[in-house]
Amino acid sequence: MARILDCAAIAAVIKQEVAEEIRQLAARDVRPGLAAVLAGNVAASEIYVRSKVQTCAELGIYSDLITPPSSVTTEEMMDVVAALNGRDDIDGILVQLPLPPDVDSKALLDAVAPEKDVDGFHPVNAGRLQAGRPALAPCTPAGVIEILKRSGIPIAGRHAVVLGRSDIVGKPAAMLLLHENATVTICHSKTRDLEKITRDADILVAAIGRAGFVTPEMVNPGATLIDVGINRITTREEFDRFFAGNEKREATFAKRGSTIVGDIDPKAFEVAGAYTPVPGGVGLLTIAMLMANTVRAARMRRGL
């Protein structure tokens, strides 16, 4: 039977480590600070940002939640970021995506000072990551590496296949795996003979944004499957495709009219050696790594 990687336990340990670092910084009269900019009224974003603010409070990180209206302009958002760049009590700046449609997201993310870019999206940090220099790495890919390392999954010398080439997950995940001495293949919508490539993977990272895209036939028996995808399914046809006979999921679906599935078909987990569940998997590491990045930014800014 495949091993379920305990992402909740790993996230909890990382938060404990961060809390200890914060106590050490407090002895130097330093308190890390995180500013979250939440523009508009996207319900999922509101829940996500408030969970980040709550985690800051639990760990002892100062947080400032800034909520411009959905009518905000790019220029107004630029002014918000510029003000945060200049504040000494703010070590990390988080601009929650998606932004209102009239805001130039790329320009805004580029305006965040690289040393405060705790999401790791700035081109300067992307370049530093590629060059193997100290950088603030994107939280989700960094969490993937922590899951593998803390679960005792060997990376060096293994063939890691990354499904997806986004700047937020796919590309940085591939780079981090490469830095850990994996042999890395990046696949995407134009990849030929995809099943042949994935069946050769010792580690398969799925970040392609398609519900249940990875089927059992695409998995190397005994491989480690890291499922980054979060896809909401709302139809009975989709539900039966992935969860027919699953009483626990059935109860959730009946109550809410929807349930969550990753980019990997749950039936593929039966072929794997180890895997991250959805929900309760990689997503738990994202907030933990954001906290770790905020503390790291506080240290780097002060030369500690």
By the 10 Å C-beta count (0-12 exposed, 13-18 middle, 19+ buried), 260 is classed as middle
Instruction: Kindly name the residue from 91, 96, 171, 202 that is annotated as catalytic.
Output: 96
Rounded to 10 degrees, the C-alpha dihedral 275/212/205/232 comes to -90
119 catalytic residue (yes or no)? yes
Instruction: Kindly name the residue from 52, 116, 263, 265 that is annotated as catalytic.
Output: 52
DSSP 40: S
Rounded to 10 degrees, the C-alpha dihedral 257/260/264/266 comes to -70
State how far the Cα of 184 lies from the Cα of 178, in Å rounded to an integer. Answer: 6
Q: Chain centroid to CA 162: how far? A: 14
- Provide the token pair at 45: 């974003």
52 catalytic residue (yes or no)? yes
Angle (nearest 5°) at CA 98 between 65 and 6: 80
Instruction: Kindly name the residue from 91, 117, 119, 265 that is annotated as catalytic.
Output: 119
Count CA atoms within 13 Å of residue 227 on its CB side: 30
Which residues are annotated as catalytic? Answer: 52, 96, 119
